[in-house]
Structure 1
């Protein structure tokens, strides 16, 4: 393990160490605004590419130097081993028009011994939920949500939630240390099942990961009466734990139909605006209602470091990250899809940034693999 961590330190280390100002003292910047809708493209259900089923795309990112896009699938060997695709999105820098999605390659994710990750329900299985191209090291980071048993899945083995590193050939290069309070267990503490690392962000100085929803100790899942709290964890570029903050989840936007129906709600992706501000996709699925998704800008400055707090539901007060609604995606071209991925595209000649938001179709014919592109200002 020491060698593995050392490899990750090499993979993520900066050549120059920069001292950051404390978050509360950092300069305030222009709020992010969505300026216009630039287009939508969909991938046909179960499209075949190089012998694989395209679907379950739960994370996207772009190499700004080459323009290559990376798309990670959360297929857990139901159709093919854990993998990512490369490709391109056709976005016209002059007009902003978004006209196409093209896949150019597919790569299997491999473990330290070079073998693919086992499938769902097996020891050491992976659940890829996010991917980031690290332009400072020219490698990839990906978020593994992990797995654990619960009342409805008592035989699932424990697989840790991790932020892993790999090269562009999919070869494992290490992993970040996970705080004790985010380690998966077989009892009712730590992250709930399907509430491990879902969002991932990389900046020049920081790596950040967000749990999808509340730990057992941090309170119940959101309901129509009240929200809850997820945890956002940061590491420095040498891979050392830095801080952890509470993200306030909204209450459910609607009650299930029937009232006894199921629902889940949490953060499906984060994206850095700068060192202290991020975009957060907050997504709910509600039986009889479908998906609801809101895009928030969040700010870590002034938030309490809750790394050492055993519970966010009990104990003394703390200050969560600040959040501001940017756009209600649930009201945009309904029915909204299962939005799980988010990345910056190329900057337009107008000076606007392009924001790409993608959906995970769950390999379900009733859902879609969809990419929407928006123009934005105040991005960076």
Structure 2
């Protein structure tokens, strides 16, 4: 009896030591191991009376394998909507074999009507979408709009994160922090720099605005970067924190030097509660698109939810970040990459990462899906 008890005690002790060792084991960095392939949708393809394009956010239902694609068409062709479809990724052969659209759903306002078009009160600019496997609902991000010098007659339309069922019916929204309210003054988020990235973490929700608020400093230049904000909510929709995210400086100068450029963080994707992937995308006149993928970590960053400005003298810690992949490496021609989503796990144990492009309904651009095998997640 004594020997048996001793053996049980030793086994329990060994199990505790092993559990502690596992908990203390270093987390493996995210790394891209293989390119699995590329697929396109036809430009301005027609589907059930709609024009397919402007796909700015994608996600996958892990139970059914259904993919969701949200369009940022602001009623240029059709009202705000999302598509369902299939991405054919073979977990055994590690090949990305095809993409298809299978359905379309109009996003509806709380009163049950479609959203108005560009430049109208309560218009929608859908930029990101996520499928929630817990509730089996969708959460989508509306970048909103506001007037600026080049568009003084645009009404203020607040940014939002709205729940919808799979029929597109509105099911409420998350509270938006006061410091992210759009205005008609030089305060709050800038125009076209609102919610672009959204993700579910294991225990919460995180969203990022594309660029800096007026109070948080100037947009990026070739000499310096900028500061954006990541907001975190718990699963009950309570706002928990905000973190400063350092956006990289512009990777190349426009041609001519006085040319235009635009961009920032175009998507987030959670690895766990602290680690996320971020996609930084810039369009530069005369140069084209420059896109990089980073692994970021919220652990140790300062909660700046109560700070009106990120440019003051009071110190704080931003999230940390590490370059994972440069899509322009080797001189590759890159599209307007705006979306990230996890695909199925491969037989090798690697996870599939899908990156998608928004064609802007432009004849010179394409709706593209890139699939990669990834380790560390």
TM-score of the pair, normalised by structure 1? 0.92
Deviations 1:112-159, CA, capped at 9 Å, x for gaps: 111000000000001000000000111000011010000101000111
What is the CA–CA distance in structure 2 between the aligned matches of 1:122 and 1:351, rounded to whole Å?
A: 48
Name the structure 2 match of 1:220: 218
Q: Report the Cα offset of residue 203 of structure 1.
A: 2.3
The gaps in structure 2 that reach 5 residues or longer are: 1-22
The CA distance in 1 between the partners of 2:248 and 2:339, in whole Å, is: 19
Match of 1:132 in 2: 130
C-alpha separation in 2, matches of 1:33 and 1:326: 6
Name the residue aligned to 2:318. 320
Q: How does 1:191-206 map to 2 (within 5 A)?
A: 191-206=189-204
Shift in Å at residue 211 of structure 1?
A: 0.2
> Residue 132 and residue 120 in structure 1: after superposition, are their counterparts in 2 closer, same or farther (change >3 A)?
same
Tell me the SS of whatever aligns to 1:346.
strand
Question: Which structure 1 residue ranges, 5 or more long, are not aligned?
Answer: 1-24
Point out the structure with max Rg over C-alpha.
2
1:222 and 1:264 in contact (8 A); partners too = no
Q: Secondary structure at the match of 1:291?
A: strand
The answer for the alignment partner of 1:86 in structure 2 is 84
Q: Which residue of 1 aligns with 2:8?
A: none
Structure 1 residue 310 displacement after superposition: 1.0
Provide the C-alpha distance between the structure 2 equivalents of 1:352 and 1:140, rounded to a whole number of angstroms.
Answer: 26
TM-score (norm 2): 0.93
Distance in 2, Cα, partners of 1:203 & 1:268: 18
Count, aligned residues: 355
In 2, Cα distance between equivalents of 1:311 and 1:231:
11
Alignment equivalent of 2:184, drawn from 175, 183, 186: 186
Q: Which residue of 2 aligns with 1:15?
A: none
Q: 1:292 aligns with which of 290, 298, 304?
A: 290
Distance in 2 of aligned mates of 1:279 and 1:177: 24
Of residues 324-333 and 260-269 in structure 1, the stretch that sits farther from structure 2 once superposed is 324-333
Does residue 99 of structure 1 match 2:79?
no
* Secondary structure of 1:345 counterpart: strand
Local SS of the residue matching 1:336: coil
Q: CA 1:152/1:311 → structure 2, altered by over 3 Å: closer, same or farther?
A: same
